[in-house]
């Protein structure tokens, strides 16, 4: 999709209306402040979900940033996976971008839980497989709820609604939304507590999905929420307090025959502190039993030779303004210095790798430093950089640097193929070449 300046017009599509002259509205689905979803048919009768970004609801000053963010988000979400709904088509209507998503003729997870028709181990594994495919592609779902987990043909799980049109701009635009007087968005029950504080939360990490998975798993096991009911606004303050205190209902699991295993997994997911949760989906999969229900890959979906280092290590931009660009570290490392600076563009600083993101400004000028160790033949990533004007001489970044979901200190952490580096809203995958 090519994004440029467009005259934006309001779109009030209703049942039987045509969108972009191609798709007839069969049913109007849920709407948020920034997007609207429809079930549509094309002229051949094929069914899809159409997601429309409501630019007319956004302040004109934010529109171009949201368009850029949406474009980057869509390009980076072309992920080959048997556990994710696919993007079929993208377009523009009246200056507003939309995308067409695969439609699954299936029930969502909440329906199956209510009707107690569920193989919990199989379902849990396949949810994690979908998250694994997202995370390895530098993406975070952020909206993982039972309603966004579909059971497709063959009883296979498919995660949907992981493409957030407008990306971080949506989060910024909705940061100041208020709770309704009677009922609140039930999706809040599954949201990691750090997302309650968007103004302080610069980097969205895979750990938010791990928390959501924990809430969903508890719901599958018990039919209840781990922190009690969350229906009305009056429940909200108490709910947040219980979440922040890690005060979830452990006693209810004593009825389960596999309580020890499930307790172990839930404890790894439901910590209010993201640094105390499981560091990756792989850790959770190791806690689930047996070799039943193995991962089914789509041919050509894996990173080629992820561990076979022939010439060196490179960083592949998976999210950000430079999506798709690759930086081969040995080729850009200055000599005789053995360091590479990563940070936002600044003409006064010679950054070997300059990073930019569509809407926010969470990247420092000297955000982090890559250092090559000749002795171990290893690249290390350190948050911040040496600065003679700073007391102690080492200046940390303002918003932190992360490898997968773990924060990097000034002491540094080794990087290996498959790691995802998060810097602000930019994500880079470590790959071998």
Kindly report which listed range (51-55, 92-96, 237-241, 386-390) carries the lowest average pLDDT score: 386-390
pLDDT at 82: 92
Average pLDDT, the chain: 85
Superfamily (CATH) of domain 1-104:
Phosphorylase Kinase; domain 1 (3.30.200.20)
Residues of the chain with pLDDT > 90, as a percent, come to: 48
Residue limits of CATH 2.60.200.20 in the chain:
313-432
Give the pairing type, strands 23-31 and 18-19: antiparallel
pTM attached to this predicted model: 0.86
pLDDT at 49: 92
- DSSP conformation letters of 358-385: SS-----TT-EEEEEETTTTEEEEEESE
Instruction: Tell me the average pLDDT across 77-91.
Output: 88
Is pLDDT at 105 greater than 80 in this prediction?
no
Residue limits of CATH 3.30.200.20 in the chain:
1-104
pLDDT at 174: 46
User: What's the CA angle centered on 107, arms 105 and 111, to 5 degrees?
Assistant: 170
Q: Can you read off the two tokens belonging to residue 264?
A: 């172990």
Residues 6+ positions from 187 with CB-CB distance below 8 Å: 143, 145, 147
Q: Can you read off the two tokens belonging to residue 167?
A: 């990306």
8 Å CB contact between 345 and 367: no
Q: Can you read off the two tokens belonging to residue 273?
A: 């502190």
Q: Which residue is it, tokens 């072309």?
A: 78
Instruction: Tell me the average pLDDT across 367-396.
Output: 90
User: What's the CA angle centered on 367, arms 361 and 370, to 5 degrees?
Assistant: 145
pLDDT at 359: 61
Give the pairing type, strands 426-432 and 420-423: antiparallel
Kindly report which listed range (80-84, 101-105, 181-185, 325-329) carries the lowest average pLDDT score: 181-185
8 Å CB contact between 381 and 367: no
Half-sphere exposure of 354 (CA within 13 A, CB side): 8
Q: Does domain 313-432 have CATH number 2.60.200.20?
A: yes
Residues of the chain with pLDDT > 70, as a percent, come to: 88
pLDDT at 346: 83
The DSSP code for 275 is G
Give the pairing type, strands 313-319 and 420-423: unpaired
Superfamily (CATH) of domain 108-159+178-292:
Transferase(Phosphotransferase) domain 1 (1.10.510.10)
Tens-place pLDDT, residues 273-293: 998 999 899 999 999 987 889
Rounded CA Rg of the chain: 22
Kindly report which listed range (54-58, 225-229, 359-363, 427-431) carries the lowest average pLDDT score: 359-363
pLDDT at 285: 96
Residue limits of CATH 1.10.510.10 in the chain:
108-159+178-292
Instruction: Tell me the average pLDDT across 125-142.
Output: 94
């Amino acid at each position: 999709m090519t994004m440029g300046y467009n005259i934006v017009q309001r779109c009030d599509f209703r049942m039987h209306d045509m969108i972009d002259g191609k798709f007839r509205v069969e049913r109007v689905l849920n709407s948020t402040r920034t997007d609207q979803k429809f079930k549509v048919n094309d002229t051949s009768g094929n069914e899809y979900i159409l997601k429309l970004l409501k630019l007319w609801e956004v302040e004109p000053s934010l529109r171009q940033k949201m368009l850029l963010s949406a474009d980057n988000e869509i390009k980076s979400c072309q992920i080959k996976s048997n556990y994710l709904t696919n993007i079929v088509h993208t377009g523009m209507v009246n200056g507003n971008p939309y995308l067409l998503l695969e439609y699954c003729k299936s029930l969502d997870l909440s329906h199956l839980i209510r009707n107690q028709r569920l193989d919990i181990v199989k379902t849990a594994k396949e949810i994690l497989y979908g998250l694994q495919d997202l995370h390895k592609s530098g993406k975070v779902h952020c909206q993982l709820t039972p309603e966004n987990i579909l059971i497709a043909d063959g009883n296979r799980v498919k995660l949907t609604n992981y493409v957030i049109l407008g990306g971080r701009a949506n989060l910024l635009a909705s940061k100041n939304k208020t709770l309704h007087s009677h009922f609140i968005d039930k999706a809040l029950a599954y949201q990691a507590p750090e997302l309650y504080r968007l103004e302080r939360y610069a980097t969205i990490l895979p750990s938010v999905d791990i928390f959501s998975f924990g809430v969903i798993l508890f719901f599958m096991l018990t039919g209840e929420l781990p922190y009690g009911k969350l229906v009305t606004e009056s429940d909200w303050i108490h709910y947040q307090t219980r979440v922040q205190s890690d005060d979830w209902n452990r006693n209810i699991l004593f009825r389960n025959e596999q309580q020890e295993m499930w307790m172990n997994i839930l404890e790894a997911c439901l910590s209010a502190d993201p640094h105390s949760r499981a560091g990756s989906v792989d850790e959770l999969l190791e806690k689930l039993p047996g070799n039943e229900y193995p991962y089914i890959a789509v041919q050509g979906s894996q990173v080629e030779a992820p561990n076979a280092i022939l010439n060196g290590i490179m960083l592949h931009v998976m999210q950000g303004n430079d999506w798709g660009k690759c930086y081969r570290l040995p080729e850009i490392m200055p000599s005789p210095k053995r360091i590479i600076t990563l940070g936002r563009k600044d003409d006064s600083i010679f950054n070997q790798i300059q990073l930019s993101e569509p809407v926010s400004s969470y990247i420092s000028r000297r955000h982090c430093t890559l250092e090559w160790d000749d002795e171990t033949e290893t690249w290390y990533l350190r948050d911040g950089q040496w600065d003679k004007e700073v007391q102690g001489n080492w200046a940390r970044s303002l918003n932190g640097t992360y490898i997968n979901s773990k924060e990097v200190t000034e002491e540094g952490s080794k990087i290996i193929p498959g790691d995802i580096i998060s810097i602000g809203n930019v994500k880079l995958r470590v790959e071998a070449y």
